[in-house]
Amino acid sequence: MKLAVVGATGMVGQVMLEVLSERSFPFTELLLVASERSVGKSISFEGQAYRVIGLDQAVNEKPDIALFSAGGGTSKEWAPKFADAGTIVIDNSSAWRMDPSKQLVVPEINADILSENDKIIANPNCSTIQMVMALAPLHKAYKINRLVVSTYQSVTGTGVKAVRQLNDEAQGVETEMVYPHRIHMNALPHCDVFEENGYTKEEMKLVRETQKILNDRSIAITATAVRIPTSGGHSESVNIEFEREFDIRDIRKILSDTDGVVVQDDPENNLYPMPIDAHGKDEVFVGRIRRDESRPNSLNLWIVSDNLRKGAATNAVQIAEYLLSRDWY
């Protein structure tokens, strides 16, 4: 098993290496790949020093699997080259997610749609992954008609420069502005670029990707994505309108029985999910489970997860593990 991590010097790439180590992913050879400016740098992994190589060399090495986290432009250009060389690419960017010929996968939900012919597999957006982890079993039980989503997203979703901006602002240090406004002590209703319909790209990812993963284009979805000055994970307020009536006790049981989901729902004892507690964990945490009393068959959930782990690195590694389990590499 020859494994490549493309974008190994980036924030998600570094977490991918942590997850690979924690889960004892069974590679025999590891290639750490990055842009030309990083080629030749040394990265320590499990006590061994690895020299960063470029994309051309990595393609020529013909890895069995390549975990991509190097941006959409790089993925568009290089993922097909790796695939043509026989590599299975698991891509963390938005480049291939809505391509009808590519599978968009959260392993706990829809790994069964994969086949050995899939050479480029898309990893969903971080905010989408954690939401559908909670929604998929509920959709199966009660059929979701409509979702109203508000997100409260960590600066880590933007990258290391955004984390630096937050930290510098907190210390009163002049800094490079990654966001159009100050983020410390602020909230920006602006995640990614604005599209022609007035929604941001991040908001439309929640719409389009959720419908694709749940394989149901009839679900009506509207979203507002907000960047907040946290670095532990993303939080989401999700209002769900079902086709069928439900018992709140059954909702809690379904979520509690779902692999990868942890219910934290004891408001009387101040127990509810928070990004500071989700940081460094792979689970999706769900709480504030309550009926929406203003609408029939409606429910409110609060969903929190570490966006760099289950929202990115861990999900990609889980896809690779599934491929190994089927002997498709």
Angle between helix 126-142 and 201-213 (nearest 10): 40
Strands 144-153 and 234-242: antiparallel
State the Cα–Cα distance between residues 75 and 46, nearest whole angstrom: 27
Phi, psi at 56, each rounded to 5°:
-60, -45
How crowded is residue 290: how many other Cβ atoms within 10 Å of its Cβ? 14
- Whether 234 is catalytic: yes
Please say whether the beta carbons of 155 and 163 come within 8 A.
yes
State the Cα–Cα distance between residues 289 and 284, nearest whole angstrom: 14
Give the CA-trace dihedral at 275, 256, 271, 167, to 10 degrees: 0
Place of tokens 């997850």: 19
> Which contiguous run of DSSP H or E holds residue 77?
helix 72-84
| Among 139, 190, 191, 234, the one annotated catalytic | 234
Question: What is the amino acid identity at position 3?
Answer: L
State the Cα–Cα distance between residues 7 and 184, nearest whole angstrom: 28
290 dihedral zone (left: phi>0; alpha: psi -120 to 50; beta): beta
State the Cα–Cα distance between residues 148 and 299, nearest whole angstrom: 11
Token pair, residue 134, equals 């909670």
How crowded is residue 276: how many other Cβ atoms within 10 Å of its Cβ? 11
Token pair, residue 68, equals 């991509």
Token pair, residue 288, equals 């504030």
What value, to the nearest 5°, has the Cα angle with vertex 82 and ends 80 and 83?
A: 60
Residues tagged active-site: 126, 234
